[in-house]
Amino acid sequence: MPLENVTSNSQASPLFAVPSSAADRERIDAAMLEAVVTSDAYLTEIASHLIVAGGKRLRPVLSTVAAQIHGAPATDDVVRGGVSCELVHLGSLYHDDVMDEADTRRGVETVNAKWGNLQAILAGDFLLARASGIAASLGTDVAGLLASTIGWLCEGQIEELRYTYDVARTEESYYASIHGKTASLYGTAARIGGIVGRHDLDTIESLTEFGNAFGMVFQIVDDILDATSTEAQLGKPAGHDLVEGVYTLPVLRTLALDSSAADELRDLLGAPLDAAQQDKALSIVRSNEGVASSIETANDYVERAVAACDGFPDTPATAALRSAPGALLASVSVSA
């Protein structure tokens, strides 16, 4: 089914909503700001720049909801555990914006644009240091897990870099990359909620599986929207991945079609695109089956995430976990 219009539905309700969501979000924001305070006011300002600018805080939100599946509130240590994940996410954004030479993020100037690349790299390192300190205060399991996760992010990112502008990039490479760069941090956020929330080992494993599957949905949705939305809908330039030579699932699925559209796309890709070539490439991706087939794959991960919740007790937190992956995928609204 060719899709004429696949866009982001910005009206979607917040993900992982539980009765304590507003209060938990305040606790998360306060702990984030506290985590980056240092005796050097200049470094504190740079390190808190994107925290003040906003962001969804999905990773610590997931940790707090994962900890609450038996009905008990999330402790301050659970909040801090989630914050350690968000600081890793933030540090990776600082570094990513340097690599991409990005100018804006969360509606404000990036750290590299405002202060320079050297400051952005050092402040990103500082965020990782603060994340590691918090994780260490929560025990060796959490510290080791966070260290491994930082490594997985780097592995995922280098896998992506290795295949830029490569039209022969495999789906295996795509899955390995998005698992490392995005899904693993969601898996870790959910796992930390389980560990610090003192759940049993089976529950901790299921929460990890949930987080990993949710993270795969998250990145596939992000990649679909990058290919199908307009700049106005995204609030940032559309088609960024194609411009950077990052061939994501909708593009790989279009290239795999046995059709003249696939051949036409292959002829265009493989090198940086001018504006007309970019429009043409995006229009081929948008008008063929690659997008619908990527949505089907995202739906497989939605089902995996929901199935991971099978043994959880019937509480508002479990209901929030079960509904979030589908709600996220539904934010890609399709009109033929």
* Cβ within 8 Å of residue 166, ≥6 positions away: 245, 247, 270
Segment near ligand GRG (CB under 6 A); pick from 7-15, 90-98, 161-169, 317-325: 90-98
CB of 245 to ligand GRG, least distance (A): 16
Q: Does 32 bind ligand GRG (CB under 6 A)?
A: no
Segment near ligand GRG (CB under 6 A); pick from 41-49, 84-92, 112-120, 240-248: 84-92
- The Cα–Cα gap between 59 and 64 comes to 9
CB of 336 to ligand GRG, least distance (A): 27
Q: What is the residue whose two structure tokens read 């292959």?
A: 266
- Residue 279 backbone phi and psi in degrees, to 5: -60, -45
x-or-dash string of contact with ligand GRG, 42-71, rule CB under 6 A: -------------xx-x-------------
CB of 72 to ligand GRG, least distance (A): 26
> Among residues 3, 65, 78, 88, which is the contact residue for ligand GRG, using CB under 6 A?
88
Helix (H) or strand (E) holding 92: helix 76-100
Q: What is the DSSP string of 164-219?
A: TT-TT--HHHHHHHHIIIIIHHHHHHHHHHHHHTT--HHHHHHHHHHHHHHHHHHH
**Which of 301, 336, 158 has the alpha carbon at shortest distance from 221?**
301
CB of 51 to ligand GRG, least distance (A): 10
Q: Does 240 bind ligand GRG (CB under 6 A)?
A: no
Q: Does 154 bind ligand GRG (CB under 6 A)?
A: yes
CB of 92 to ligand GRG, least distance (A): 4
Residue 77 or 160 having the CB closest to ligand GRG: 160
> Among residues 27, 181, 199, 253, which is the contact residue for ligand GRG, using CB under 6 A?
181
Residue ranges of alpha helices (H) inside the chain are: 21-35, 41-53, 58-67, 76-100, 111-114, 117-137, 140-162, 171-178, 184-196, 201-228, 231-234, 240-244, 249-255, 260-268, 275-286, 290-308, 316-330
Q: Does 199 bind ligand GRG (CB under 6 A)?
A: no
Q: Does 249 bind ligand GRG (CB under 6 A)?
A: no
Length of the chain: 336
- The Cα–Cα gap between 267 and 199 comes to 53
Residue 55 or 316 having the CB closest to ligand GRG: 55
> Among residues 109, 141, 222, 244, which is the contact residue for ligand GRG, using CB under 6 A?
222
The first and second tokens of residue 336, run together, are 């033929």
CB of 242 to ligand GRG, least distance (A): 16
Residue 68 or 149 having the CB closest to ligand GRG: 149
CA distances from 244 to 235, 240, 292 (A): 18, 6, 23
Q: Which amino acid is at 93?
A: L
User: Which residues 107-146 are close enough to bind ligand GRG by CB under 6 A?
Assistant: 124, 128
Please report, as ranges, the residues that interact with ligand GRG according to CB under 6 A.
55-56, 58, 88, 91-93, 95-96, 106, 124, 128, 150, 153-154, 157, 181-182, 219, 222
